[in-house]
Structure 1
Amino acid sequence: MLARRAARLAGTVMAARPVAVAAVTSPERFLARSRGLATPAQTPPRLDEDGLPVEDPIFAMPRTEDGKIDSKGLWRKVQLLAPQLAGAGLAVVGVYGVSKVIVSLTSTLLNVTLTQAVTIGFGGGILTAAGIAAGAYAVSGRFSIRPELVFRTAFHKLKNSQVVVDAIGAPVKAGALRAYTIQQGHMAFCADNSLKWVSPRVQMLFALEGSQHSAMVSLEAETVNGALNFTLLTVDVLGAKQNAPPLVVEGLQDRLEVRGQLRGFLQSERVRYIEQTKPSPEEVEVGIGSQHPRA
């Protein structure tokens, strides 16, 4: 197979040789069309005293009938020959360079040993596998969401929020309760029957403990282009005066319905029969656990 490829490349080089030869032997015809200049064959022939056409050498100085150098004709010849000779030189250099590369590549491939071939193949396989793994990890990060990361990010925001610290007292610690639901990313039809990508999201409820009060955190987060975005992050202070509004740390007011959805699920009949001391298979699927979270 290597010999066949080398023969094919050599044929390409041999096919390019006539072009380079024509550029050297007849430079006026090589690039005259691209320059838009008239060649001597396209201009009226200059006649001698006997009425016979006179053929000037390519590199001869153009002269008038009285033997003086024609400056206009000289400038025209320079305009005509300079780019053609430059193109011819580049063509020759290009053909020579390609031929040297082909010869060197063919010689290298023919002299590759079995050990070198195995080493190259093994290294290429490792690099390919690493690239595929990195790409899969990047894609997974853009189309999935991790509840642990959501909890840590939200707790960091609340612990550093002066409004929360003033409401429940410092230091702020995480409580024993954490409940969440996960909605994986998927394609769905909108109201106008257009197909839309629904970002993966987490709705979470967890407890906070302060030196003065306890609180319940309700949040909703989604992954947008690989970045975590909180559409709702609120704190309800327990023991506060009745009908006290929640502390909206981040997000939109129209997503406050998430608070009621999560609390309604925790108060349902099904949750009463879930053991709260050890996660069960149902807890893993539903997303409810009583493990003490790590701050």
Structure 2
Amino acid sequence: MFESMQVIKKLIERYDYCGAYEILKDKGMENMDSSLIINSCRYAVNFDFFNAKKILKHLSADTLKDSVCVDLLSNLEALNNGQPDVLMSELLENLKFQIVNEEYIDFLGRVYRFKEAIYKFMFIKSQLPDRNFTFQMRFLQKKEILKILRNHYKIFNNNLIFALNSYFRKYDKNTEVVDPIIRLMNSEKMNQLIELRHNSLIGHGFMGVSAEEIQRVYGNPYNVLDDFRACLISLGIEVQRYKYSIVNKLILELLEQDYNAFFKLDHSVNANFE
């Protein structure tokens, strides 16, 4: 079991909660606190925040009182409500996971989604500056944005990014904040990165993607995270960093406790049959 524990710890360090949970489940430890949090993270990294929060309600009373767990429950509630600070921070964390695990095609997919999310956020804030923004607003739907662009600004391009570029170039007045973001999003290095996505399996082709290819067009993949983070901060979005690193620390602490308790009980049961 010691070797399994080492594997579990390594999987957690790489944010592979599915793999870690499957091993614990095979050992019959799926209902212990460490496993429940791992299972919750397994749902959260797939943006199923409702079930991620639901699972945590089965934790022991002591663990539920832990400050990390209290913050995690609050975070999941905000994610369920589509709050921009936590949702964009979650997407940044998700991007980091893809780099850590060298899943570069998925990484490019997240980059494209992030670019689109930033454009949507800037547009809706420009249209409804006094409205409380969440990513659950119906105005965030592509068809709603395109309808506004057609009806109010006579922009008829059905490609959302191209249409919003036209809007910001012609009509937006918040140039001091928006212009640097637009320049980054339309920079040569970003366009080349998006082109890699288009040519991959999640785009329109079958081209492979490597760290070297990303390095060639953009530099270190972590530079993408830094650039996106700077965009969010300039938009007034509070970026929350290291969420899963903090949660992982709690998981590893609980894992040691659960491991000792489980095998103490297992040894006691076996002794009764001897």
Bin the TM-score by the shorter chain. under 0.3
Instruction: Compare relative contact order (CA 8 Å, sep 6+) and give the higher one, 1 or 2.
Output: 2
Structure having the higher helix fraction is 2
Structure having the higher strand fraction is 1
Structure label with greater radius of gyration:
1
Provide the TM-score with structure 2 as the length reference.
Answer: 0.26
